[in-house]
């Protein structure tokens, strides 16, 4: 055993080295977000997102500068037209071609600037989207199992997709809308310099637009929150229906699930219709009130031209500027709707980012290297957040290289021992030790490299069988992958497949049988070469004779690896050096099978209920 100072939090993906895939191609290294969400929860949502936005400030500010120039040129166009009409057409004091060429040049430059700033703005917005998405996913990898126990996966998926999309859309289009506001201010200033009274007539309807906009914003925010929440509800039901399709069909419950989805979709439809109705009541007025200003300009401005108090060019310029004044207000309703939806989405994203991980490395955590595999549970008590105590003052010790079968009734805490040993959950009281070191003093990276675990329902990814086996060691050579597959008794069915090790398994590995999935999972764990191996009913779907060969291969490959076997059948118990009997979260007996059969009646009772057990089988193991 060697201890070293932990260099980083194991949950920090930035510390992971780049590797190569099985075909020799480099795997792109994870690029950490350039910025982070501000941790102060009292700040508004935009201020909390500001660090991520400011991380792209160079490109962002450059893009906004080009957008400002493009909009200033747009404001300049009516001014050029005004001068051209008055001088080239009305007074004929200057040639018309001069203004035609000037308009052409300004228009082309503005078109070029618009092309550049829009492309830059989209690139920046997608960069911010990527940073926020990576930050959220990185945080999700650090959250403890307790969080996933109480939060539906559909809610997480919705927040990681549609909610981030809502924020990204707002960050993309909000600057464009703000540029129209700058154009509004510049155009208004120029109009005031030409004719104050005509300008006041043009902006007369605008206070009403502002009042309606504020009212629309106040009504949209709660509706936006409801819409996003109900979209997540629909996503949750769809996710559960896909993941649980075999259960649903086995009970012929398709109609019930469709009805449940229909109820959720109806609730979402109601929220969307309410949102659409709210926008329908306000947006037409918001968009058309400025056009009242256009009518007033034509009436009053035409009178001024007839009376000789304004030139035709001035009236034409004012009509163009009134159109520019309308642009921010035509977009005002959309801006408010997107802003309120982004605000609601950001709040839902912050709910995840503000969730503090419960299982983290201590500041002085050390790495455990070359572990001997001594395991000790010292007066451990533990209960899940959703229920009562599972383990009660449990104490047990497993020597290095020992194979121990853990036996007990359902709910006695067998699988919980495996979860606590890998520190997936924190003990309520007592301590779990490896080689005499409290696992809370070890880095999570080194701890979980030391403890390998295989469950009865292993998860396989939708990649090739070789990639699934090499998940813990992505750069493992093919020869090693095939060697662990042979040890797990998986090589023969893999080579029988048309594509062999390159065959891609279906969703969660369901294209394989239960026993095949378990053997792939055992091979995956073998490749990691853990010092402590936990088999939680990991061979439940495997033939007894194959199971025996697997255990022989485990011993040959891992040497005297410390092995904890969560036993649910007699054949597994027969392979253990010692048996530990649990009852109501406590160790009530420990010894060889024969010793417990002779001294502990509760042990015989538990064995009689094991899978495939008969009195003769139990007696044969004496």
- CATH number for position 377: 3.40.50.300
Q: Out of 113-117, 310-314, 345-349, 352-356, which region has the weakest mean confidence (pLDDT)? A: 310-314
Question: Do residues 211 and 253 share a domain?
Answer: yes
Q: Out of 115-119, 195-199, 526-530, 554-558, which region has the weakest mean confidence (pLDDT)? A: 554-558
Find the mean pLDDT for residues 512-519: 85
* 267-300 tens-digit pLDDT: 888 888 888 888 788 777 777 777 777 788 788 8
Question: Do residues 226 and 151 share a domain?
Answer: yes
Residues composing the chain = 622
The reply to whether 52 falls in a domain is yes
Does pLDDT of 8 surpass 50? no
CA dist 429 and 514 (Å) reads 36
Question: Do residues 593 and 562 share a domain?
Answer: yes
Q: What is the pLDDT of residue 447?
A: 92
* 53-70 tens-digit pLDDT: 888 888 888 888 888 888
The model's pTM: 0.70
Nearest to 283 by CA among 193, 215, 186, 234: 215
CA dist 326 and 184 (Å) reads 8
The reply to whether 16 falls in a domain is no
Pull the structure tokens for residue 546.
Answer: 């194959």
| Residue where a domain stops, chosen among 310, 328, 353 | 353
Find the mean pLDDT for residues 527-533: 88
Please give the span between the terminal C-alpha atoms of the chain, in angstroms, as a whole number. 37
The residue range of the domain holding 389 is 368-459+532-620
Question: Do residues 155 and 117 share a domain?
Answer: yes
| Residue where a domain stops, chosen among 319, 353, 387 | 353
Provide the 10 A C-beta neighbour count for residue 244: 13
Question: Do residues 286 and 378 share a domain?
Answer: no
Question: Do residues 417 and 545 share a domain?
Answer: yes
Which stretch, 55-69, 332-346, 582-596, has highest mean pLDDT? Answer: 582-596
Question: Do residues 88 and 158 share a domain?
Answer: yes
Q: What is the pLDDT of residue 183?
A: 80
Question: Do residues 268 and 381 share a domain?
Answer: no
Find the mean pLDDT for residues 587-604: 89
Q: How confident is the model at residue 555 (pLDDT cuts 50, 70, 90)?
A: confident
* 63-117 tens-digit pLDDT: 888 888 888 888 888 888 888 888 877 777 778 888 888 889 988 998 999 899 8
Does pLDDT of 6 surpass 90? no
| Residue where a domain stops, chosen among 326, 353, 380 | 353
Q: What is the pLDDT of residue 396?
A: 94
The reply to whether 23 falls in a domain is no
Q: What is the pLDDT of residue 14?
A: 39
Question: Do residues 248 and 343 share a domain?
Answer: yes
How many C-alpha atoms does 310 have within 13 Å on its Cβ side?
25
Q: What is the pLDDT of residue 249?
A: 67
Does pLDDT of 353 surpass 60? yes
CA dist 236 and 398 (Å) reads 42
Question: Do residues 307 and 377 share a domain?
Answer: no
The reply to whether 482 falls in a domain is no
Split into its structural domains, the chain has a count of 2
Mark residue 37 as left, alpha or beta (left: phi above 0; alpha: psi -120 to 50; beta: remaining): beta
DSSP code at position 130: H
Question: Do residues 163 and 263 share a domain?
Answer: yes
Give the mean pLDDT of the chain: 81
Question: Do residues 308 and 438 share a domain?
Answer: no
CATH number, domain at 85?
A: 1.20.1560.10
The reply to whether 26 falls in a domain is no
Contact 404, 561 (CB under 8 A): no
The reply to whether 522 falls in a domain is no
The reply to whether 254 falls in a domain is yes
Q: E strands within 457-585? A: 532-536, 562-566, 578-583
The reply to whether 428 falls in a domain is yes
Q: What percent of the chain has pLDDT over 90?
A: 13
Residues 6+ apart with CB under 8 A from 377: 394, 395, 396, 397, 417, 420, 430, 432, 433
Q: What is the pLDDT of residue 558?
A: 66
Q: How confident is the model at residue 330 (pLDDT cuts 50, 70, 90)?
A: low
Residues 6+ apart with CB under 8 A from 492: none
Q: What is the pLDDT of residue 243?
A: 67
Q: Of 410 and 31, which is predicted with more confidence?
A: 410
């Amino acid at each position: 055993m060697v201890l070293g100072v932990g260099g980083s939090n194991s949950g920090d993906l930035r510390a992971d080295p780049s590797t190569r895939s099985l075909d020799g191609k480099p795997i792109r290294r994870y690029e950490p977000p350039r910025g982070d969400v501000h941790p102060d929860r009292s700040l508004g949502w935009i201020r909390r997102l500001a660090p991520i936005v400011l991380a792209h400030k160079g490109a962002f500010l450059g893009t906004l500068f080009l957008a400002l120039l493009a909009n200033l040129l747009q404001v300049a166009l009516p001014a050029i037209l005004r001068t051209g009409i008055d001088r080239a057409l009305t007074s004929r004091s200057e040639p018309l071609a001069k203004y035609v060429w000037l308009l052409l040049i300004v228009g082309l430059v503005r078109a070029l600037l618009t092309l550049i700033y829009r492309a830059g703005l989209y690139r920046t917005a997608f960069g911010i989207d990527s940073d926020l998405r990576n930050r959220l996913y990185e945080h999700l990898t650090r959250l403890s199992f307790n969080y996933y126990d109480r939060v539906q996966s559909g809610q997480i998926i919705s927040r990681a997709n549609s909610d981030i999309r809502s924020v990204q859309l707002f960050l993309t289009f909000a600057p464009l809308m703000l540029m129209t506001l700058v154009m509004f201010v510049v155009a208004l200033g120029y109009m005031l310099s030409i004719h104050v009274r005509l300008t006041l007539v043009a902006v007369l309807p605008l206070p009403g637009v502002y009042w309606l906009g504020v009212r629309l914003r106040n009504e949209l925010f709660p509706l936006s929150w409801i819409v996003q929440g109900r979209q997540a509800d629909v996503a949750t039901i769809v996710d559960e229906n896909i993941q649980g399709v075999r259960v649903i069909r086995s009970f012929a419950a398709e109609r019930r699930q469709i009805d449940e989805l229909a109820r959720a979709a109806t609730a979402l439809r109601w929220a969307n219709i309410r949102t659409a109705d709210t926008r329908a009541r306000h947006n037409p007025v918001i968009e058309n009130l400025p056009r009242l200003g256009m009518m007033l300009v034509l009436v009053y401005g035409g009178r001024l031209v007839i009376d000789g108090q304004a030139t035709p060019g001035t009236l034409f310029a004012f009509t163009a500027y009134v159109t520019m004044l309308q642009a921010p207000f035509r977009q005002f309703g959309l801006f408010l709707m997107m802003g309120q939806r982004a605000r609601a989405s950001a709040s839902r994203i912050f709910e995840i980012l503000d969730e503090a991980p419960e299982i983290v490395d201590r500041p002085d955590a050390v790495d455990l290297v070359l572990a001997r595999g001594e395991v000790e549970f010292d007066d451990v008590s533990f209960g899940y957040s959703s229920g009562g105590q599972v383990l009660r003052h449990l104490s047990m010790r497993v020597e290095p290289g020992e194979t121990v079968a853990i036996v007990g009734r359902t709910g006695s805490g067998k699988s919980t021992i495996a979860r606590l040993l890998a520190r997936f959950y924190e003990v309520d009281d007592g301590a779990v030790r490896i080689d005499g070191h409290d696992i809370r003093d070890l880095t999570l990276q080194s701890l979980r490299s030391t403890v390998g675990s295989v469950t009865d329902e292993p998860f396989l990814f939708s990649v090739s069988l070789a990639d699934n086996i090499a998940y813990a060691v992505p750069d493992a050579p093919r020869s090693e992958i095939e060697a662990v597959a042979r040890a797990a008794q998986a090589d023969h069915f893999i080579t029988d497949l048309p594509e062999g090790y390159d065959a891609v398994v279906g969703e969660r590995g369901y294209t394989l049988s239960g026993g095949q999935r378990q053997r792939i999972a055992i091979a995956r764990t073998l490749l990691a070469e853990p010092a402590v191996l936990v088999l939680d009913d990991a061979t439940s779907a495997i033939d007894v004779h194959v199971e025996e060969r697997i255990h022989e291969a485990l011993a040959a490959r891992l040497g005297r690896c410390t092995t904890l076997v969560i036993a649910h059948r007699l054949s597994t118990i027969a392979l253990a050096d010692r048996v530990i009997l649990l009852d109501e979260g406590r160790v009530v007996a420990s010894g060889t099978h024969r010793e417990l059969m002779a001294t502990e009646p509760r042990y015989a009772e538990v064995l009689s209920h094991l899978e495939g057990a008969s009195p003769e089988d139990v007696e044969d193991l004496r």
